[in-house]
Chains A and B, each alone.
Chain A
Amino acid sequence: MYRYDAFDQRVVDERVAQFRDQTRRFLSGELTEDEFRPLRLQNGLYIQKFAPMLRVAIPYGLLSSRQLRMLAHIGRKYDKGYGHFTTRQNIQFNWPQLEEVPDILADLARVEMHAIQTSGNCVRNITSDHFAGAAGDEIVDPRPYNELVRQWSTFHPEFAYLPRKFKIAITGATTDRAAILVHDIGLQAVRSDRGDIGFRVIVGGGLGRTPIIGHVIREFLPRAEILNYLDAILRVYNRFGRRDNMYKARIKILVKEQTPKIFAQHVEAEWEHLHGGEATVPDEEIARLAAHFPPPRHDTLAGDDAGFRSAIADNRAFSNWVQRNVFPHKVPGYAIVTLSLKKTGVPPGDATSDQMDTVADLADAYSFGELTVSHEQNLIFTDVRQSQLLALWSELKGMGLATPNIGLLTDIVCCPGGDFCSLANAKSIPIAEAIQRRFDDLDYLHDLGELDLNISGCMNACGHHHVGHIGVLGVDKNGAEWYQVTIGGAQGEHAAIGKVIGPSFAAHEMPDVVARLLDAYVDHRYEGERFVDTVRRVGLDPFKERVYAAAH
Chain B
Amino acid sequence: MFLLVENIARFSVLVPVLFAFFVKSEKQTIQVLFYFLIFIIFHQIIYNSLYIRESKYTDIFNSLYTPIELLFTAFYVKPNLKSLGYKKFILISLVFYFICWVPLLFFSNPQDFLSYIRAFTYSLILIYCLLYFYEQMQYPQSLFIYNQRTFWGISGFLLFAAGTFFIFLFDQFSNNVKGFIQQYVYIHAILFTIRNLFFALSIVIKPEKSQFADISLSIT
The judgment on whether A and B are partners is no
A residues with a Cβ closer than 8 A to B are: none
B binding-site residues for A, Cβ under 8 Å: none
